[in-house]
Amino acid sequence: MSLIKSLEGRMRLPVICSPLFIISVPDLVVAQCTSGVIGSMPSLNARPLEQLDEWLAEIKERLAAHDAKHPDRPSAPFAINLIVHKSNDRLEEDIKMVVKHKVPLIISSLGARPEVNDAIHSYGGYVMHDVINQTFAHKAIEKGADGLVLVAAGAGGHAGSLSPFGLVQETRAWFDGPIALSGAIAHGASILAAEAMGADFAYIGSAFIATEEARAVDPYKEMITQYGASDIVYTNLITGVHGNYLKPSIVNAGMDPDNLETSDASKMTFASDRKKRWKDIWGAGQGIGVVDRILPAAQLVDRLAGEYQHARGRLGAPSRLVNTLWGHGRAA
């Protein structure tokens, strides 16, 4: 069964909530899934490893309880993000844990490896790999991923530099499997736009930082609600990989956001003992300008759903610009 087929009847919106480093925890994942969107978290948010076992069991138990109580609105499945980078010394153990719990969807990042995909496929799970260009997209599918997360310009945290239009249309020219589009999506109309472009899902992260369930400090949440696209800085200084970060948090850390050094990508590390040098520099995407308050995650999904349906209705009405009789030999 395909991933898309497996989701029929379980989604309120075509949305995958992106795994937010440090911030995504079981409370947020469960709130997202029970609202009808795919919730996710990085495996590395659970420390030590034993906590991942506990969290996965908790998420499954809470979603099962919701489904038993609300058969008319079942929860969407959840996803776990695995960092496949060579520096991640916990990867093998994390794979064993997600296999043990049969996590429905895996989002893999920073390296495509066939053995990771094979492990997830062994129990019927699915893998979507995040990419920023066609080179990485082809490699991911060649190595067995089921779908792609296209990380375009404007995405929060690690991000690409390509237009979402170019990224989606070039991918759809050769790939007909599941695609999620990431990049400044924080409004229901943008979800519909992602579908219109050819994506199956919108991939939304930064808007969920400003939710009650998110494990982010209050100043971070407040900053999400106070700034917009012009307050985002694209730099590789923080991790060695280019990403988008809140300019005010860079200033607060004592640096000049207009004169940041470049970093050596080879020094990027996800090792368990790594030093958290930049814990007060906060990632965010260019879509945060529409996030004006901190809400429970369910209310954020309600807002997105209302905006999505409004946009669908607006596009269903006759266009003010398009002559529907064009080429039929009659004046409009």
Q: Which two tokens stand for residue 259?
A: 């004169």
- Number of other CB atoms surrounding residue 76 within 10 Å: 24
Separation between Cα atoms, residue 117 and residue 106, nearest integer Å = 9
Q: Using the 8-state DSSP alphabet, how is residue 295 labeled? A: B
Report CA torsion sign: 304, 308, 314, 315.
Answer: positive
Q: Tell me if 78 sits within 8 A of 38, measured CB to CB.
A: yes
The dihedrals phi and psi of 235, each to the nearest 5 degrees, come to -150, 155
**pLDDT tens track of the chain, all 332 residues?**
899 999 999 999 999 999 999 999 999 999 999 999 999 999 999 999 999 999 999 999 999 999 999 999 999 999 999 999 888 889 999 999 999 999 999 999 988 899 999 999 999 999 999 999 999 999 999 999 999 999 999 999 889 999 999 999 999 999 999 999 999 999 999 999 999 999 999 999 999 999 999 999 999 999 999 999 999 999 988 777 899 999 999 999 898 888 888 866 555 555 665 555 567 899 999 999 999 999 999 999 999 999 999 999 998 877 777 776 777 665 54
| AA letter at 239 | T
* Contacts (Cβ under 8 Å, ≥6 apart) of 69: none
Domain boundaries, the chain: 3-214+296-316
Considering the domain 3-214+296-316 in this protein, what is its CATH number? 3.20.20.70
- Confidence (pTM): 0.92
Q: Tell me if 108 sits within 8 A of 41, measured CB to CB.
A: no
Q: Tell me if 331 sits within 8 A of 38, measured CB to CB.
A: no
Task: Look at residues 191, 200, 196 and name the one whose alpha carbon lies nearest to residue 148.
Answer: 200
